[in-house]
């Protein structure tokens, strides 16, 4: 490999590590709960630009700008997701701790399936948020609609996240370097493909 190629490889490694460290640092800065949504939106914004070949941006400046700009709105939306997640968690705990019998098993399976769709809707939210200009209500609505109706992409995203999780489980040292970037990259790439397909269908003459 030529010297220029090695420089390019190390440059990309540094970009990925920088973006991931920013995501971790700014999430912690927001005490986790208030930092996760704006940090993730900032990360998805950068990853989307990378995928679309906009690679000359400053990771730090871009991340900080998006984080500050979107902090209030994304945390408002995050509050909705947190509330739904808490509701599902409590329901699952109640079924596991109190109910018995065949019905409880079916109910538990159903709740876990809903929880899976809920987690997928959060991934869709970040991708939709950085790609489209919508109202707050529409962001939440479209996130759940994509999770429910986009069966193929949802399975692809779930499989990809499972693989990333397995890699980091085997090599915990990677958590510091790719724990946010790798899932964001995979989700954004799958979603951009889905968005492009839907936009082509919408633009076809009737």
Q: What's the pLDDT at 105?
A: 87
Contact yes or no for 109/91 (Cβ under 8 A): no
- To which residue do tokens 């490694």 refer? 13
Instruction: Using CA atoms of 28, 34, 35, 36 in order, give the dihedral in degrees to the nearest 10.
Output: 110
Q: What is the pTM of this model?
A: 0.92
DSSP 174: G
Nearest to 70, CA basis, from 142, 120, 130: 130
d(CA 35, CA 27) in angstroms, rounded, equals 4
Number of residues written out for the chain: 206
Radius of gyration of the chain (CA): 19
Per-residue pLDDT tens listing for the chain (206 residues): 555 577 788 889 999 999 999 999 999 999 889 999 999 999 999 999 999 999 889 999 999 999 999 999 999 999 999 999 999 999 999 888 887 778 888 999 999 999 999 999 999 999 999 999 999 999 999 999 999 988 889 889 989 999 999 999 999 999 999 999 999 999 999 999 999 998 888 887 76
User: Left (φ > 0), alpha (ψ -120 to 50) or beta: where does 32 sit?
Assistant: left
- Give whole-number Cα distances, 191 to 6, 101, 146, in Å: 30, 40, 10
Nearest to 39, CA basis, from 92, 87, 78: 78
Q: What's the pLDDT at 66?
A: 97
Which tokens in the block code for residue 32?
Answer: 């986790």
d(CA 59, CA 144) in angstroms, rounded, equals 30
Which tokens in the block code for residue 204?
Answer: 């076809």
């Amino acid at each position: 490999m030529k010297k220029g190629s090695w420089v390019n490889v190390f440059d990309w490694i540094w970009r990925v590590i920088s973006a991931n460290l920013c995501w971790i640092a700014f999430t912690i800065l927001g005490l986790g709960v208030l930092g996760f949504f704006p940090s993730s939106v900032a990360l998805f914004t950068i990853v989307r630009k990378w995928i679309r070949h906009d690679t000359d941006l400053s990771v730090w400046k871009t991340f900080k700008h998006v984080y500050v700009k979107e902090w209030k709105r994304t945390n408002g939306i995050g509050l909705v997701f947190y509330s739904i997640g808490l509701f599902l968690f409590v329901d699952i705990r109640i079924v596991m701790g109190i109910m018995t019998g065949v019905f409880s098993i079916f109910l538990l399976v159903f709740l876990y399936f809903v929880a899976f769709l809920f987690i997928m809707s959060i991934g869709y939210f970040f991708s939709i948020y950085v790609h489209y200009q919508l109202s707050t209500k529409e962001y939440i609505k479209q996130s759940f609609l994509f999770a429910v109706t986009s069966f193929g992409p949802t399975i692809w995203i779930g499989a990809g996240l499972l693989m990333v999780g397995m890699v980091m489980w085997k090599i915990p040292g990677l958590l510091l370097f790719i724990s946010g970037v790798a899932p964001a990259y995979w989700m954004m790439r799958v979603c951009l493909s889905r968005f492009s397909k839907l936009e082509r269908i919408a633009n076809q003459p009737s």
